[in-house]
Amino acid sequence: MEPRFLNKEAWKGVAIAIIAVVIGQLVLAWQYYRLEEKRLPLIEKQLLEQREEIERKSAKETIVSFLDALEQGNSKLALRFLTENAVVQEEEGAFSLTERILGHRIIQLDQVGVSEFRAQVEIENEDLLPQVRLMRILKILDTYYIDSIKIAG
């Protein structure tokens, strides 16, 4: 009698091997999804923090660029960082784009909305005491602009 290549015993071995592989894959998939359930909220939190930090840096860059333009006496450049509301405030005399400042420092920058920040900025000018100004910074499309500037106090 000639031995058969795939007799009953060989089929049993192949079937057991396939079942073992499928069970192993199911166990690994189950463990992977358990780990992902724990990691996914952490990853989402990290992404949110990174987005908030990017937004904060963009708002801060707008403030610094605006104040640097004022420091250099470049009112046309400073005007680029203002919204229409801030331009109206400037025309009404709430602040001046022609004011020459000697230095500035951002004291505080807080996010108050999805695309809105409030800043406290210390301005040094010819006066003896530095002046604190409150700024509202808004995101319009993908760019931040200064929407209002008020003298604190």
Provide the percentage of residues in the chain whose pLDDT is more than 90.
56
| pLDDT of 68 strictly over 80 | yes
| pLDDT of 152 strictly over 70 | yes
pLDDT averaged over every residue in the chain: 88
| pLDDT of 3 strictly over 60 | no
Listed in sequence order, the residues at least 6 apart from 94 whose beta carbon sits closer than 8 Å to its beta carbon are 149, 150, 151
Predicted local confidence at residue 4, as pLDDT: 59
Average pLDDT for residues 64-83, to the nearest whole number? 92
| pLDDT of 60 strictly over 90 | yes
Q: What is the DSSP string of 40-107?
A: HHHHHHHHHHHHHHHHHHHHHHHHHHHHHHHHTT-HHHHHTTB-HHHHHHHHTTSS-SSPPPSEEEEE
Residues paired with 103 in a beta bridge: 124
- Domains of the chain by range and CATH? 57-151 (3.10.450.50)
| pLDDT of 89 strictly over 60 | yes
Per-residue pLDDT tens digits for 108-151: 999 998 889 999 999 988 777 888 999 999 999 999 999 999 98
For residue 74, which phi and psi values (nearest 5 degrees)? -100, 85
- CB distance 133 to 150 below 8 Å: yes
Average pLDDT for residues 41-57, to the nearest whole number? 90
- Range from 9-18, 82-91, 99-108 carrying the lowest mean pLDDT: 9-18
| pLDDT of 1 strictly over 60 | no
Predicted local confidence at residue 88, as pLDDT: 94
